[in-house]
Each structure stands twice: as structure tokens, then as C-alpha cells.
């Protein structure tokens, strides 16, 4: 635990990053949901293609 009397080392070349310079934050939840829907659609299409290929048309 600290006694409050210890000297801390501080780097003098630290430059704080301003909020204006930062890139806009992408809404991760919407991006992930969009990707998930795309993947689900591709998997569903693949499943339907396989069912169609396996279907016996000579009933």
C-alpha cells in the first residue's frame, strides 16, 4: 500500500490525445448483427441448395 510519500516517475513526453482527432466509433452491436445476418443468410442458402440437390424428383 502507498503511504503517500513515495515519488512517482512521470514521463514528460506524454501527449494527450484530443477527442477531435479520434476516429468516430462504429456501433459494434449493429455491425456484428449485420455480419451475423449475412452469415445466417449464406448458411440458409447453402442448406436449401443441398436440400434441392438431394431431392428425389422421381416421386
> What does the pLDDT read at residue 28?
80
- Determine, yes or no, domain membership for 8: no
> What does the pLDDT read at residue 33?
92
- Determine, yes or no, domain membership for 1: no
The pLDDT tens digits of the residues spanning 1-59 come to 556 666 766 666 666 666 555 566 667 888 899 999 999 999 999 999 999 999 887 76
> What does the pLDDT read at residue 30?
83
Task: Give the 3-state DSSP-derived string for the chain, with helices as H, strands as E and coil as C.
Answer: CCCCCCCCCCCCCCCCCCCCCCCCCCCHHHHHHHHHHHHHHHHHHHHHHHHHHHCCCCC
Structural domain including 36 reads 27-53
> What does the pLDDT read at residue 19?
58
- Determine, yes or no, domain membership for 58: no
Amino acid at each position: 500500500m502507498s503511504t503517500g510519500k513515495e515519488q512517482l516517475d512521470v514521463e514528460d513526453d506524454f501527449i494527450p490525445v484530443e477527442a477531435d482527432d479520434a476516429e468516430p466509433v462504429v456501433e459494434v452491436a449493429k455491425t456484428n448483427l449485420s455480419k451475423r445476418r449475412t452469415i445466417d443468410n449464406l448458411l440458409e442458402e447453402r442448406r436449401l441448395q443441398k436440400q434441392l440437390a438431394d431431392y428425389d424428383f422421381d416421386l
